[in-house]
Structure 1
């Protein structure tokens, strides 16, 4: 049986199909080109707020995005801060030991599959320079604009200090130079100048008493002519009590949406001190460790079509098992030996003990004996002029942190001794009482 007559028409049909498929004038019939595989290695900043003497493990896996990269590693570290020492280094982590207070940064570079990327680890080290001082707080800022419009923010709306200290913005760190701080020291302007995408900066706050804070400024510059609609990322507020909960799991899927129905992915977290990390399926695991207070996590979601958005999670961390610190202030007596006409400056800082108080002040000093005169009252001292012989008693009051105390300054005012008389002497006595 011959098949030649059946094969010939089939061959012709196949050839005709191939010819139509290769015709450059019929674009709808062209074979689709396979998507190009893009290799990407991008390093982002991290921010840490520490205390002197801390040893911090810096895990770079949370700030490095590797797409189609088999593996990557930390290839260079350059400490520009002068705040401590790099004590250990591994392929994707390093340890840093703090020595002194201030704000600075460490440059780092990662490499993998022939690609490299660099960024910074920004440090704010609180040195406890003022007894009882509480560090300021700084919140993350998110900005949205188009690629042709500037946008500004007043950082005074995002910083605070429990002690009421005057705060200053001491640095603004940005690799792109699209962020500029104005002459008033608080207004920050973001200028995209045609740029489309995500940009970021880190700002530092100083309370002038050895307290520092860091936070991110995250800007999205969109192309209004693009057909894609960006996703939506909502903010949220959560609380946790570490007395009963050591880990907080956060499902971000409930906070993100997209009108186009695009598949969304949370690509990056902006969190201080590595307390938050991304897990599978847009979930975040937050571990406060020894942190207590108000913390923030800002997350970035993408629809993989050029659309991105930011959302912020505010977490209040408390510990009901620890009693709050109670402010206390105690004033103690001082004694002086004077003669009529002598004038001294009495500094009460050496006789006042304050705990859990940021600052205190001398509010009153009065001579109840009438043997001298008080003048020149300041927050910590006063002047006293001895006028008549006798035992003078100056009562003084100090206040701070909502508490107060009182004590006395006792001045023994002797008349100039006669040639045949010498004033007696008295020594302090210390002892212990055993019951």
Structure 2
């Protein structure tokens, strides 16, 4: 604001040139200045009365920048991320406080996204794979670019639990035993089946995911052996199989 005339140079560049006698008036100019120091030179005059020149500097607002994020969660579990959440790696050169705006919601679960960047995500029951959402930030004046949040829903890490088995067979009659049938925590992942102790009165062999027990000739009584199951994460568990060998039913 000036009365009557004024001129302003910045770094020897004339940016205001107003030498018009008259009432007070306001002149506005837009400037692109690099970061750092700048030299200002001012000239003004007053035809009569008091001379006064005032300058107001208003920095141009810069839009914030949002960055992509990635998280992981187990199947059927809930992912809870506290503030600043997705805002942690976002920025604003003006130092303004930022808030979050949801752009695209998740496709395979439920999402609660808060303005402070915190959120809670729960995948649909049975879903495993990649889900995600998109958001932008705002400083109250401008919105940022759109950022993607990738959520990897990982399979449950089942821990196997072998359960003892009790079966029976007639003497000299082989028996195929589904030892895994009552075991727990195997999930859908393959497991390794091994014999950890042999029976005293027979022989055992693994046939695919089952164990065949063959009693010794003429043996009648109780025999046992043990086995171990091991999953892909090298988690293992052992159990004992008890076999009662009964006499053949000989017709008179």
Quickly name the TM-score band, shorter chain normalised. Answer: 0.3 to 0.5
Q: Relative to total residues, which structure has the larger strand share, 1 or 2?
A: 1
**TM-score of the pair, normalised by structure 2:** 0.43
User: Which is greater in Rg?
Assistant: 2
Q: Relative to total residues, which structure has the larger helix share, 1 or 2?
A: 1
| Higher relative contact order, chain-length normalized (CA < 8 Å, sep 6+) | 2
**TM-score of the pair, normalised by structure 1:** 0.28
